[in-house]
Structure 1
Amino acid sequence: MKAVYATDLSAASEAAIENETCLGCLGRIGVEEVHLVTVVPSNVHAGMPGLDFEGRRKRGLARYSRTMENAGFDVETHVVRGTPHRRINGVAGTVNADLTVVGSRGKSPLENRVIGSTARNLARTTVVPLVVNRVERGAEDPEVVRKHLFQRVLFATDFSENADRAFQSFSYLRHATQEATLVHVRSPKDPDPEGELSPADRLDELAERLDEWDIEVETDVRRGDPAEEILAAESEYDPTAVLLGSRGHSRLRRLLLGSVSEDVVARANGNVFLVPPPRTA
């Protein structure tokens, strides 16, 4: 597997990249090749007085590259210019990556709604599965919030095609996952199913598939707003990662509307693993 690892050379990025446990988790799910990417904003110029951007980029990427090579990965570095989430997606598509990883301190819900972030923009537009590796907020020398990326997974499903695609990720996550909580959120307006399996029964079917891989599983059917209930389940079960699928939106809808996946990426306390629709969709 190939992974694009995006870094802005910040303390948060450094904490995520230099954590041996996180890197070990990526290795266990089959990542062998890492493409380190840093994006220089278009309005930043190498010749700006008092700012050694070029030297800082080279030193930072060289240090991160050595860390990842020592962890057993083949590493290639990319310095690109432009809008971060667009260029990160571009590199992921070009190298045919299997997933993208980005470290994120996160922001308050208000800040995320008003100004956005690279992680949230990637959640809207990513072309490959996205791992948001959460780093401590408000710390000068931050550490990752959950060192084991996939040890305890909370999988949120609405039983859609997109959710089923996200569930298929267990085919490789299982090498790093020991426990899983399967959650379905029903709207208060949803009618009780007639002549078909109940949500609890459908979760049990998924649980049986994970049992075959010796993953310890529990299920939970909740009622309410999907994003709020998924975040409440995260607080209750304390997973190392929340796994969910993304429906994707048109460009206009991305600008005007949020989504469950974007909300969870923005507000989750820990890591999020987001699986988007296929690239051809």
Structure 2
Amino acid sequence: MRAIYATDLSAASEAAIENETCLECLERIGVETIHLVTVVPSNVHPGMPGMDLEGRRERALDRYRGVMEAAGFGVETHVVRGTPYRRINGIAETVRADLTIVGSRGQSPLANRVIGSTARNLARTTVVPLLVNRVEREDERPEVLREHLFQRVLYATDFSENAERAFDAFSYLRHATQEATLVHVESPKDQSETDPEERLAELAETLDGWDIETAIEVRQGDPAEEVLDVEADVVPTTTLVGSRGQSRIRRLMLGSVSEDLVARARGNVYLVPPPRTA
């Protein structure tokens, strides 16, 4: 597997990259090659007075490369200029990446109402599964909030086609997963003749066969709020969810469950997008 590791060379990115347990989890799920990507904003120039931007960038990337190579990964670095989420998606397509990883401090309640962070823009537009690796928000030297990335997974499903696609990610995540909680939130519009607990139980049987200790929950109410409540109760290391994708106009608006989880979840979020259309 090939992974894009997007970094803005901040303390948050460094914390995610240099955490040994996170790197071990990536190795367990089959990642062999990591493409370190940093995007230079178009309004930043190497000759700006008083700043050794190029030198700082090279030293940081060399340090990150050394950490990852010592952990057994093949590493390639990419320094590009432009809009971060667009360039990250472009490189992911070019190198045929299997997932993208980005560190995030999360957002304040007010900032959640504003579009702008790379993590949120990637959540709307990612072309491959996206891991948002959460780090502490306030500390100058932050640490990742939930180590052992996929050890305890909360899987949220509405039984849609893309939710099933997200569940399929367990085929490789299982090598790092010990526990899973499967949750479905019912709405008044649900018309299925199948009991949601039965459908979750069928999924749980698959995970049980992989020696993953599994629990199921059916909730009623607002999907994002209920999933976040379950996350607070079971404290997973990562929440796994599918995204139905957005139209070009819809990407300018807030509100989808997956975007809410990326913005508001306390731990990591693994977002699986729909397959790319030709």
TM-score norm. by structure 2 comes to: 0.98
Shift of 1:52: 1.3
- Corresponding residue of 2:52: 52
Match among 223, 231, 235 for residue 234 of structure 1: 231
Q: Deviations over 1:96-130 (max 9, x none)?
A: 00000001001113202224311010000000000
Q: Deviations over 1:24-81 (max 9, x none)?
A: 0000000000000000000001111011111111111000000000000000000000
- Corresponding residue of 2:162: 162
Q: Distance in 2 between matches of 1:115 and 1:205?
A: 38
Shift of 1:213: 0.3
Q: Does 1:246 align with 2:243?
A: yes
Shift of 1:256: 2.5
- Corresponding residue of 1:37: 37
Q: Distance in 2 between matches of 1:53 and 1:89?
A: 24
Does 158-167 or 111-120 show the bigger shift?
A: 111-120
**Structural mapping, 1:120-131, within 5 Å:** 120-131=120-131
Q: Distance in 2 between matches of 1:192 and 1:157?
A: 15
Q: Distance in 1 between matches of 2:251 and 2:58?
A: 34
Q: Distance in 2 between matches of 1:212 and 1:136?
A: 35
Q: Deviations over 1:227-258 (max 9, x none)?
A: 11111110011000000000011111110242
Shift of 1:192: 6.2
Q: Distance in 2 between matches of 1:113 and 1:159?
A: 28
**Structural mapping, 1:73-112, within 5 Å:** 73-112=73-112
Runs of at least 5 residues in structure 1 that lack an aligned partner in the other structure: none
Q: Distance in 2 between matches of 1:78 and 1:89?
A: 13
Maintained 8 Å contact 1:180/1:216: yes
- Corresponding residue of 1:22: 22
Q: Distance in 1 between matches of 2:73 and 2:253?
A: 40
- Corresponding residue of 2:206: 209
Q: Distance in 1 between matches of 2:100 and 2:94?
A: 13
Is the partner of 2:147 in helix, strand or coil? coil
Q: Does 1:279 align with 2:271?
A: no
Maintained 8 Å contact 1:109/1:266: no
- Please report the RMSD computed on the Cα atoms of aligned residues, expressed in angstroms: 1.0
Q: Distance in 2 between matches of 1:68 and 1:215?
A: 28
Please identify runs of 4+ aligned residues in structure 1 that moved more than 4 A: none
Maintained 8 Å contact 2:239/2:268: yes
Q: Distance in 1 between matches of 2:230 and 2:119?
A: 21
- Corresponding residue of 1:223: 220
Q: Distance in 2 between matches of 1:12 and 1:108?
A: 16
| Structure 2 counterpart of 1:65, one-letter code | R
Maintained 8 Å contact 2:3/2:31: yes
Maintained 8 Å contact 2:115/2:121: no
Shift of 1:191: 5.0
Mark the CA change 1:191 to 1:66 in structure 2 (over 3 Å): closer, same or farther. Answer: closer
| Structure 2 counterpart of 1:227, one-letter code | A
- Corresponding residue of 2:67: 67
| Structure 1 counterpart of 2:125, one-letter code | T
Is the partner of 1:219 in helix, strand or coil? strand
Runs of at least 5 residues in structure 2 that lack an aligned partner in the other structure: none
Question: How many residue pairs are counted as aligned between the two chains?
Answer: 278
Identity of aligned residues (%): 76
Match among 260, 264, 273 for residue 261 of structure 2: 264
